[in-house]
Copies of this chain bind each other. A is one copy, B any other.
Amino acid sequence: MADHGLRERKKQATRLLISNVATGLFIQRGFEEVTVAEIAEAAGVSKMTVFNYFPRKEDLFLDRHADRLAELTAVIRDRPAGVSACEALRRHQHSLLSSGHPLSGAIAGGPGFWWVLTSSPALTARWYEQEREIATAFAEVLAEESGEAFRSRMVAGLLTTAITTIFAHAMGRIVAGDDAEFVREEQGEVIDQAFDLVEHGVGDFPG
Q: Which residues of A contact B (CB under 8 A)?
A: 84-87, 125-126, 128-129, 132, 142, 145-146, 148, 150-155, 157-162, 164-165, 168-169, 190, 193-194, 197-207
Can you tell how many copies of this chain the complex includes? 2
- Check if B169 sits within 8 Å of A165, measured CB to CB: no
Q: Which residues of B are found within 8 Å of A157, using beta-carbon distances?
A: 161-162, 164-165
* B154 & A204 in contact (Cβ 8 Å cutoff): no
Quick check: B154 and A86 within 8 Å, CB to CB?
A: no
CA distance A204 to B158 in the complex (A): 13
CB-CB under 8 A for A158 and B155, given A146-B206, A199-B202, A206-B145? no
**Is there an interface contact between B204 and A201, defined as CB atoms closer than 8 Å?**
no
**Could you say which residues of chain B place their CB within 8 Å of the CB of A203?**
84, 86, 199-200
Docked-complex contact B198 and A169, CB < 8 angstroms:
no
Q: Which residues of B contact A200 (CB under 8 A)?
A: 200-201, 203
4 closest cross-chain pairs (CB), A and B: A201-B201, A146-B206, A84-B204, A200-B201
Q: Is the CB–CB distance between A204 and B142 below 8 Å?
A: no
Q: Do A154 and B161 contact each other (CB < 8 Å), given the known contacts A132-B128, A204-B87?
A: yes
The residues of B that contact A142 with a CB separation of less than 8 Å are 205-206
